[in-house]
Structure 1
Amino acid sequence: MLDAKKLNQEYLDWVKKSYEYNQLDNGIVEIVSPFLDNFSDEIGMYAIPKKNGKIKLTDDGWTIDNLNSIGVNINKSKSRKNILEQQAKSYGIDVIDGELCTEVSEHDFPVAKHRLLQAIIFVNDMFMMAPKTTSNVFFDDIDNFFTENNIRTTKNSSYIGQSGLTHRYEFSIPGFKDDVPLRLIKTMAAGNNTMFAKSIVTDVMQTEPVVKNENPRFYVMLNNYNKNNKIIEINQDILNLFKSSSIQPVLYSEREKFLPEFRE
């Protein structure tokens, strides 16, 4: 049986120890994270000193280039480009000339680095399963599901966790006093993305103490369809990880079963 608290601490310790910082020319610092992309390469970021004393944090265009390489061309679809910009903005990140980036003071660097990494991972996951022939992404599908069922949600709610870092939920459904719980919902477009699953558990573990007075329930909606719209099996270890961490996994093919809970 997995221990959620132990897993959370091990995850945080692993993240802290696994970053690499490499000094490059012109004062630029390469930051190599322990998180992997679709090709099992480590996700990198760059810290660039600016004349105004601030630091520019950027993915150097990696995220969009990576999506292009798997056939998801953001710039050819106005809808996808708007979605990308909106979702990046919800993390406090800009999209400029194909880069995910932000400028911050040295004091705000740790939090901004976390926000940029979160944005890179989420955007990469969000578009990963999108067919070339549609502008729709998993986030849109879930949004439409709630709208069609007259469930009022707030998109992109953020909470400052115990560590002082921001943790974002793609959807939230407000509660009411002690009778109706607050429901916080994460999404996984690639339902078998183990690394993203672990980061979601940490988000919940960091957020739960902050919202405990609102009787929270946590959900993660997993896409269990492939590009051909056929149901795929989700790794049982991922499902067990969520359940042991008091997170309800919701397979997209079974979303209708959870309507009563979402409508409370």
Structure 2
Amino acid sequence: MTLSNSLLTDYLSWYKKEAKFRDLSENIIRIDVPFLDSFSDEIVMYVIKNKDNTITLTDDGWTLANLESKGVTISRSKNRKKIFTERLNAFGINEIDEELTTTVKYKDFPLAKNRLLQAILAVNDMFMLSKNNTKSLFFEDVGVFLEENNIRATPDVSIPGSSGITFNFDYLISGYKDIPTRFIKTISTPNNPLFAKAALTDILQTRELRKNSSFYVFLNDSSSDDKIITIKPEIKELLIEQNIKPVLFTERNSVLDELAA
């Protein structure tokens, strides 16, 4: 036996041993595959027998639910949804009622199963492999809010502070005459005081040179299951004491008029 054949035999033997097919009912099979997603969770798929002699493969909503449990909501952003749909299309997989799914003939099961597995892994990797991903997603959510309300904001702006060090702001909304320039910072994990103190330092240094300016810090208090995260009072007080406006993302419309001016 050649080395390639030996490796193939070993791989198939391993896969057959590790993959588990289990009948849940007469028409539904659960498949546990020996692959892990970006959260080190095992991937599970289901096969459903249809009356027209086809089968439907589905993740039963597991992929999107798992992402949302980690704070990644695909539907919150048009751009995120577009990327997600393009990724599924590349593997011939559909999203129906938040399930990744495809329906095929019996003979096409092996290929369809492989396509669904690839789609699940691709969607997980696309949104979770970057270590700065959580921050970038909340930054994008704030950007969508500004764009949807026709607020012309410049993203990712660097401003020199009084010490000569350059400080970064997530968005800048230009002022005019009596309307101040508005600077926005975003904090995706707001209950960590280190992030609030870092934002405060940047703002205080910048404000010394940008007198006619207002400063806002958007705090991500929106969880993946639409529950509100309680922000520690000391986080908001730290900002308010320095005349910096904390904005809870769930209450973002409260500053709409002053940002749109």
Using structure 1 for the length normalisation, give the TM-score: 0.50
- The residue number in structure 2 matching 1:227 is 224
Whole-Å Cα distance in 2 between the matches of residues 173 and 244 of structure 1? 23
Q: Which amino acid in the other structure matches residue 255 of structure 2?
A: F
Residues 118-154 of structure 1 deviation map (CA, whole Å, 9 limit, x = unaligned): xx8xx37616xxxxxxxxx211111111111111100
CA contact (8 A) 2:127 2:133 kept: no
- The residue number in structure 2 matching 1:180 is 179
- 234, 237, 255: which one aligns with 1:237: 234
Post-superposition shift, 1:227? 2.7
- After TM superposition, the structure 1 = structure 2 runs for residues 45-56 of structure 1, keeping only pairs within 5 Å, are none
1:252 aligns with 2:249: yes
- The residue number in structure 2 matching 1:26 is none
Secondary structure of 1:238 counterpart: helix
Whole-Å Cα distance in 2 between the matches of residues 167 and 80 of structure 1? 27
Whole-Å Cα distance in 1 between the matches of residues 218 and 192 of structure 2? 13
Unaligned runs of 5+ in 1: 1-66, 85-119, 128-136
Whole-Å Cα distance in 1 between the matches of residues 225 and 133 of structure 2? 19
- The residue number in structure 2 matching 1:90 is none
Whole-Å Cα distance in 1 between the matches of residues 257 and 170 of structure 2? 20
- After TM superposition, the structure 1 = structure 2 runs for residues 128-143 of structure 1, keeping only pairs within 5 Å, are 137-143=137-143
Secondary structure of 2:209 counterpart: helix
- The residue number in structure 1 matching 2:80 is none
Whole-Å Cα distance in 1 between the matches of residues 256 and 147 of structure 2? 12
Whole-Å Cα distance in 2 between the matches of residues 170 and 258 of structure 1? 17
Q: Which runs of 4+ in 1 moved over 4 A?
A: 67-81
Whole-Å Cα distance in 2 between the matches of residues 74 and 152 of structure 1? 33
Whole-Å Cα distance in 2 between the matches of residues 204 and 74 of structure 1? 38
Secondary structure of 1:184 counterpart: strand
Whole-Å Cα distance in 1 between the matches of residues 241 and 122 of structure 2? 37
Post-superposition shift, 1:77? 4.5
CA contact (8 A) 1:224 1:252 kept: yes
Whole-Å Cα distance in 2 between the matches of residues 74 and 182 of structure 1? 41
Residues 166-194 of structure 1 deviation map (CA, whole Å, 9 limit, x = unaligned): 111101100012x1110000001112121
- The residue number in structure 1 matching 2:214 is 217
Q: Which amino acid in the other structure matches residue 205 of structure 2?
A: Q
Post-superposition shift, 1:257? 1.1
- The residue number in structure 2 matching 1:192 is 191
CA contact (8 A) 1:162 1:209 kept: yes
Q: Which amino acid in the other structure matches residue 257 of structure 1?
A: S
- The residue number in structure 1 matching 2:260 is 263
Whole-Å Cα distance in 2 between the matches of residues 221 and 80 of structure 1? 22
* Cα distance change, pair 68–156 in 1 and its aligned pair in 2 (3 A): farther
Q: Which amino acid in the other structure matches residue 255 of structure 1?
A: R
- The residue number in structure 1 matching 2:201 is 202
- After TM superposition, the structure 1 = structure 2 runs for residues 1-264 of structure 1, keeping only pairs within 5 Å, are 77-78=125-126, 123=132, 126=135, 137-177=137-177, 179-212=178-211, 215-264=212-261
CA contact (8 A) 1:163 1:206 kept: yes
Whole-Å Cα distance in 2 between the matches of residues 195 and 125 of structure 1? 16
* Number of equivalent positions: 147
Whole-Å Cα distance in 2 between the matches of residues 226 and 246 of structure 1? 27
Whole-Å Cα distance in 1 between the matches of residues 218 and 140 of structure 2? 13
Whole-Å Cα distance in 2 between the matches of residues 76 and 125 of structure 1? 13
- Which is higher, the Rg of structure 1 or of structure 2? 2
Secondary structure of 1:211 counterpart: coil
Q: Which amino acid in the other structure matches residue 165 of structure 1?
A: I
Whole-Å Cα distance in 1 between the matches of residues 249 and 161 of structure 2? 28
Post-superposition shift, 1:68? 6.5
Post-superposition shift, 1:75? 9.4
